[in-house]
Amino acid sequence: MIDALAKISVERAVLPSSLLERKIHALRQRHVLVAALTGLSMAAVVSIELLALAMFADWWLDLAWGLRLLSLLAQAAVLGFILIRYVVRPMVWQPDQDELALLVERHRPEFRSRLIAAIQLARPGAVPPGASGELARALIEDTERFAQPMDFRRVVSLERLRKVGTLAVIIPLIALLGFWSGRQTCTVLLRRVLLSHEPVPRKTQVIVPDGHKLIGRGDNVRLEAFAEGIIPGSGKLVVHYRGRRPQEFPLEQNRDNRRNFGRTIENVQDSFSYQIFLNDGTSPVFEVRTIPRPTVAAIECEQISPTYTGIKPARRALGDLTLLAGSVLKLRVTATKDLQAALLRLVGPEIDLPLQLNESDPRMLAGEFTVPKQGLTGFSVQMLDTENMESRDAAVYRVEIVPDKAPSVRITYPDRKEELVTRYATMLVGFAAQDDFGIAKLRLHYKVDTVDNGAEKIVELDLEDQRPLRLTRRYPWKIGEFTPLLAEGSTIEYWLEATDINDATGPGVSRTEHQLAKVVSQAEKTADLLNRASDALSGISDAALDQERLNRSLGAIIREKVGAP
């Protein structure tokens, strides 16, 4: 019973035709290949055309970077759509046997639905129970005989592929020839399409170094450009102020450099944008931004006098900076803007000193400088704000230096320039010295022509650890204490030197005129004293006679006035 049923099942089974399957498979491959090649050709043609259109539009309109980015994204979207729609989709979603069989029957009507029937009847369960399998097998065999000489792949039309493929060959060749003929321009345009920041190639390229500018309000600004390629004879500058109509200015060509064009706009008060046009070249739009420059709002000055003067610190006005040399002037500066750096410039020595910024208030500065002995005529404050704007034409605050005068000293005795002394004498040297703040040292310098080849020697005069402002004394100079005793005929050249207590810019030193003392014998000294005494007595006698004559003259005048006989 079982064997009989199995035999009946085999008889009913309808096996698929291997011939038809091979032909259908070949048709599927041809269909997918043609669709993919057509899609790739379309992608090549469209992408080249879009790229050429984008390059032309950029050359014509000089598109901004943002617009070029949108253009590139749009090109990528179109290319992606074509590849997905006409390449990826046919490869992923390939037609099944039924679709391909119907495609063949549409092109070969002589099949009269036998091909689709032969494929469908060979599927499991296609012949229902009780139906005759012999008829199905007979249909399949008949279809095989009919399909044997046919090439199913021919039903796939190549007309569209030929047209699009031809375009895919011709258009790239034309594009390549055009690109090669204008390769310098096209290379730059291609890079710009790919979002390069290069300027659009023109017959004249406009190069603007340092296009964006930041200037101080009220400053002049020089706008310059350089031409490359064809050098025009002139150009123009277009300035756009916010809320106002554009203004055009002719550009001045540099006579020494014909490539250079420029224009100076004076006293700029507002920010503006500008473009420069040279021949067919156009510069990008640049901005000139104006901001106020930092200036000094207030300065507080405090003078710290040198320690040796004993003067207490004092506030000073900017208009009264008469300062003692060696003083320290402390400054507290208030700026009109927040600063990032500042310095103090000393006028005269041309020295720059840093000013310290207040961490909590960047408008407050502090600094100091020491007043030199000479050369300083004033100072100014240079500032740099947080926007890198420098101060300009800073006010110079005048400083007048008062030097510490050197002490004065003079010999009051002997009053003669040349004095005679004996070998054993004690010569009194009288002197007077004074200084504004105190005398630190007083020295007696001398040279003897017969001792040590006239070498200079020094005697320190004792000030008893005092720093007097004024000093009047006599020093007993013991000539007899020279060892060995000075020979008669020796000449002593001597003078005094005073030093003050200035330890800041000094010390100040002054010296008297040189005087002489000649060593003579006792007889010569006695004769000298007698002569001096005689001269003194003669002077007294002459004075008495002059007084008597004056008295007589006065009496005569009185008598004449009163009319006496």
HEC secondary structure over 510-527: EECCCEEEEECCHHHHHH
Distant-in-sequence contacts of 154-160, Cβ < 8 A, 24+ apart:
154/107, 155/27, 155/103, 155/104, 155/106, 155/107, 155/108, 156/27, 156/30, 156/31, 156/34, 157/34, 158/34, 160/38
Q: How confident is the model at residue 4 (pLDDT cuts 50, 70, 90)?
A: very low
Q: How confident is the model at residue 208 (pLDDT cuts 50, 70, 90)?
A: very high
Report the pLDDT value the prediction gives residue 265, as an integer from 0 to 100.
93
Could you tell me which residue, 43 or 543, shows the higher pLDDT? 43
Helix intervals (H) in 442-521: none
Where does residue 379 fall: left (phi above 0), alpha (psi -120 to 50 degrees), or beta otherwise? beta
On whether the 408-520 domain is CATH 3.40.50.300, my answer is no
Is pLDDT of 153 > 80? no
Report the pLDDT value the prediction gives residue 5, as an integer from 0 to 100.
38
Q: How is residue 522 written in tokens?
A: 């006792």
For 64-94, the DSSP string reads -HHHHHHHHHHHHHHHHHHHIIIIIHHHHS-
Give the lowest-confidence range in 208-217, 525-534, 543-552.
543-552
3-state secondary structure of 325: coil
Domain-by-domain residue ranges, the chain?
10-177, 204-291, 296-402, 408-520
Mean pLDDT, residues 380-407 taken together: 91
**42-81 core/surface letters (b: 16 or more CB in 10 A; e: else):** bbbbbbbebbbebbebbbeebbeeeebeebbeebeeebee
Report the pLDDT value the prediction gives residue 495, as an integer from 0 to 100.
95
Q: How is residue 124 written in tokens?
A: 């499991």
Report the pLDDT value the prediction gives residue 39, as an integer from 0 to 100.
87
Is pLDDT of 422 > 50? yes
Q: How is residue 292 written in tokens?
A: 């106020």
Q: What are phi and psi of 105, to 5 degrees?
A: -65, -30
3-state secondary structure of 16: coil
Report the pLDDT value the prediction gives residue 560, as an integer from 0 to 100.
67
Give the lowest-confidence range in 136-150, 228-242, 489-503.
136-150
Is pLDDT of 21 > 90? no
Report the pLDDT value the prediction gives residue 555, as an integer from 0 to 100.
65
Mean pLDDT, residues 342-363 taken together: 92
Report the pLDDT value the prediction gives residue 564, as an integer from 0 to 100.
52
Report the pLDDT value the prediction gives residue 3, as an integer from 0 to 100.
44
3-state secondary structure of 143: helix
Q: How confident is the model at residue 264 (pLDDT cuts 50, 70, 90)?
A: very high
Which residues is 206 bridged to in the sheet? 227
What Cα–Cα distance (Å) separates residue 432 from each residue in 207, 429, 442? Answer: 80, 10, 11
Report the pLDDT value the prediction gives residue 11, as an integer from 0 to 100.
47
Q: How confident is the model at residue 272 (pLDDT cuts 50, 70, 90)?
A: very high
Is pLDDT of 497 > 80? yes
- Closest among 199, 161, 193, 198 to 179, alpha carbons compared: 193
Is pLDDT of 425 > 50? yes
Report the pLDDT value the prediction gives residue 565, as an integer from 0 to 100.
52
Mean pLDDT, residues 508-531 taken together: 88
- Closest among 204, 209, 207, 261 to 234, alpha carbons compared: 261
Which residues is 316 bridged to in the sheet? 301
Mean pLDDT, residues 266-289 taken together: 92
- Closest among 121, 114, 106 to 146, alpha carbons compared: 114
- Closest among 233, 184, 235, 245 to 208, alpha carbons compared: 235
Report the pLDDT value the prediction gives residue 25, as an integer from 0 to 100.
81
| CATH domain 204-291 topology | Immunoglobulin-like (2.60.40)
Report the pLDDT value the prediction gives residue 224, as an integer from 0 to 100.
94
Percent of the chain with pLDDT over 90: 42
Give the lowest-confidence range in 23-32, 168-177, 240-249, 385-394.
23-32
How far apart are the C-alpha atoms of 292 and 385, rounded to whole Å?
10
Give the lowest-confidence range in 14-23, 113-122, 323-332, 360-369.
113-122
3-state secondary structure of 257: coil
Is pLDDT of 302 > 80? yes
Other CB atoms closer than 10 Å to residue 271's CB: what's the count? 16
What SS3 string covers 228-296? EECCCCCCEEEEEECCCCCEEEECEECCCCCCEEEEEECCCCCCEEEEEEECCEECCCEEEEEECCCCE
The number of angstroms, rounded, from the C-alpha of 93 to the middle of its chain's C-alpha atoms is 63
Other CB atoms closer than 10 Å to residue 537's CB: what's the count? 10
How far apart are the C-alpha atoms of 58 and 192, rounded to whole Å?
8
Is pLDDT of 199 > 70? yes
Mean pLDDT, residues 20-26 taken together: 78
Could you tell me which residue, 558 or 272, shows the higher pLDDT? 272
The number of angstroms, rounded, from the C-alpha of 320 to the middle of its chain's C-alpha atoms is 37
Report the pLDDT value the prediction gives residue 34, as an integer from 0 to 100.
85
Report the pLDDT value the prediction gives residue 542, as an integer from 0 to 100.
63
Q: How is residue 331 written in tokens?
A: 């400054």
Do 286 and 272 meet the contact criterion of CB atoms below 8 Å apart?
no
Contacts of 417 (CB under 8 A, 6+ apart): 513, 515, 516
Q: How is residue 432 written in tokens?
A: 């007077």
For 90-102, the DSSP string reads HHHS---HHHHHH
Q: Which residue has the tokens 């030929």?
A: 162
**pLDDT per residue as tens digits for the range 61-101:** 888 888 999 999 999 999 999 999 888 888 888 887 777 77
- Which CATH code is given to the segment(s) 296-402? 2.60.40.10
Mean pLDDT, residues 401-426 taken together: 90
Q: How confident is the model at residue 244 (pLDDT cuts 50, 70, 90)?
A: confident
The number of angstroms, rounded, from the C-alpha of 275 to the middle of its chain's C-alpha atoms is 25
Is pLDDT of 519 > 80? yes
Could you tell me which residue, 289 or 523, shows the higher pLDDT? 289
How far apart are the C-alpha atoms of 10 and 13, rounded to whole Å?
5
For 346-367, the DSSP string reads EETTTEEEE-EEPSS-TTEEEE
Give the lowest-confidence range in 1-10, 505-514, 546-555.
1-10
Q: How is residue 40 written in tokens?
A: 């790739």
Q: How is residue 258 written in tokens?
A: 């014909």
Could you tell me which residue, 143 or 190, shows the higher pLDDT? 190
Is pLDDT of 10 > 60? no
How far apart are the C-alpha atoms of 461 and 459, rounded to whole Å?
6
Percent of the chain with pLDDT over 70: 90
Q: Mean pLDDT, the chain, as a whole number?
A: 85
Q: How confident is the model at residue 431 (pLDDT cuts 50, 70, 90)?
A: very high
Report the pLDDT value the prediction gives residue 562, as an integer from 0 to 100.
62
How far apart are the C-alpha atoms of 371 and 400, rounded to whole Å?
10
Q: What are phi and psi of 162, to 5 degrees?
A: -60, -45
- Closest among 316, 216, 309, 319 to 268, alpha carbons compared: 216
Q: How confident is the model at residue 9 (pLDDT cuts 50, 70, 90)?
A: very low
Do 386 and 339 meet the contact criterion of CB atoms below 8 Å apart?
yes
Report the pLDDT value the prediction gives residue 130, as an integer from 0 to 100.
62
